[in-house]
Structure 1
Amino acid sequence: MEQPRKWSRTRAHSVHALTATGAVFAMFALLAAVEANWSWMFLWLLAALLVDGIDGPLARRYDVDLHAARFDGVLLDLIIDYLTYVFIPAYALYASGIVPGWPGWGMLIVIPFASALYFADVRMKTEDASFEGFPGCWNMFALVVFVLQPNPWIVLILSLVLSVAMFLPIRFVHPVRTARWRPLTLAVSLAWMVLAVMAAWGEFGLSGAWAWAFGLTSTYLLLAGPLQQLLDLRGR
């Protein structure tokens, strides 16, 4: 009996260890950003994003809350996510010169401030495991900006809109946990990840069909939740 219990504890603690590797990836991403190596910065952030996508299902499967209760997996995840989803991407948008001057300063104020409040929001998740409000995926937002390089004022306006959307009753799908359209959402998420790696590795030079695919997958992940809400309202 003791051996199965020991194995359960080992598996549970290994999930915490996997989650903690995100902090290492965050450090590597920060070092790359300081050296203005934006491609490698995003590759490290994408590695952290991949870990964030798989550690949750593993934690639930191996009953981490029961067998490794000493460490708060949710808190650990939030600490790392703030670094990789918010802090480093916001710094990159400004330090790269893509969003300079007053738009850059406005973005540097709005994104960290709103995200700090959102990450402490106890109503972040809905009953169907979606996100209540924009889930602060500034790492994905920043990569799209690096690829498209829109006008800095447009980036600031989008940052303001998405920051406000964090606290509105607008649903955004969780790529893994939201049950509705899950096969499609998982497929789109995997496609987005592949395209994101291609974009980062190729110095953000997606073109032709690849650029369209990147735009369409990004749009789906942004709008799938609001569309589900709209369908629910029309069905009432």
Structure 2
Amino acid sequence: MLAPTDRLCVSRAMNKQILSAFSVHLLTATGAIFSMLAIIAAANEAWEVMYLWLVVAFAVDGIDGPLARRYDVKTHAGQIDGVLLDLIIDFLTYVFIPAFALYQSGLLPGWTGWFGVLVIAFASSIYFADTRMKTADNSFSGFPGCWNMVVLVFFAVEPPWPTMVGLILLLTVAMFLPLKFIHPVRTRRWRKLSLPLATLWVVLALVATLMNFATPGWIEGALILVSLYLLVVGIAQQIIPERKRTA
């Protein structure tokens, strides 16, 4: 049997683990606060403020997963479903708010605004509920509904509305096709290139946001090129066979 002092040490260690695990859930839940601040900014057409809050939410989303695995939240704070909580926040920040901003901004005129946001919301709700969205290598099966990235490029570049509608339709269809889209952090293959480019995309997006989307041509071009890489690199990995490592 453990001595009283040993039992006290074990109890304190367990309490610390539980506290750390629940703290990760609380960190994830702050995404709801940032989402609310973002949608308030969008309602007031303060687009740069909206995207700054979304960038903060994006940063939280990038660190809460590794923290959840480090502190084993499923074991020590299993009363809260961290995966479901994360999906709720992701739907707000990746889908709902960007779609609302796209409509509110008037970038899609007339009926195209209604059409675009309703298609995004409807298709994304089905995709987010699909239990097959993750692949064995921690990528996504189908376009993972990252409309926040797409809409930011729309804001920065302001392409003609037929181009935007066409891209929305193309990416909506791609959500339900057996095409792979990488997770820049968790997809191991080509991560040494993908992760720096994803970081560059965040920097470019932040610069465009701080400039109120009055961006010079080189930033627009860089955003387009990096976005295209992040969109097609997973498909390229499906086409190009991975080299087998030799012992």
Smaller-chain TM-score range? over 0.9
Matched residue type, 1:91: F
CA distance in 1, matches of 2:217, 2:169: 30
Does residue 43 of structure 2 align to residue 9 of structure 1? Answer: no
Once the two structures are superposed, the pairs formed by residues 100-139 of structure 1 within 5 Å of their partners are: 100-139=109-148
Percent sequence identity over aligned pairs: 55
Once the two structures are superposed, the pairs formed by residues 211-230 of structure 1 within 5 Å of their partners are: 211-230=220-239
**Contact 2:157–2:220 under 8 Å retained in 1:** no
User: Alignment RMSD, CA only?
Assistant: 1.5
**Compared with structure 1, are the counterparts of its residues 233 and 166 closer, same or farther at alpha carbon in structure 2 (3 Å cutoff)?**
farther
Q: Which residue of 1 aligns with 2:149?
A: 140
Q: Which residue of 1 aligns with 2:169?
A: 160
Gaps of 5+ in 1: none
CA distance in 1, matches of 2:232, 2:189: 14
Per-residue CA shift, 1:98-117, capped at 9, x if unaligned?
11212111102210000000
CA distance in 1, matches of 2:49, 2:97: 13
Shift of 1:144: 0.3
Report the TM-score when normalising by structure 2.
Answer: 0.92
Q: Which residue of 1 aligns with 2:65?
A: 56
Per-residue CA shift, 1:154-201, capped at 9, x if unaligned?
211111110110010000000111111112211111111111111111
Gaps of 5+ in 2: 1-9
**Contact 1:104–1:152 under 8 Å retained in 2:** no
Shift of 1:153: 2.0
Q: Which residue of 1 aligns with 2:6?
A: none
Matched residue type, 1:36: E
Shift of 1:233: 9.0
Question: What is the DSSP-based 3-state SS (H/G/I as helix, E as strand, rest coil) of the residue aligned with 2:32?
Answer: helix
Compare 136-145 and 55-64 and name the one that shifted more.
Answer: 55-64
**Size of the alignment, in residue pairs?**
235
Shift of 1:234: 11
Higher CA-based Rg: 2
CA distance in 2, matches of 1:4, 1:210: 50
Residue among 24, 31, 37 paired with 1:28: 37
**Contact 1:147–1:204 under 8 Å retained in 2:** yes
Report the TM-score when normalising by structure 1.
Answer: 0.96
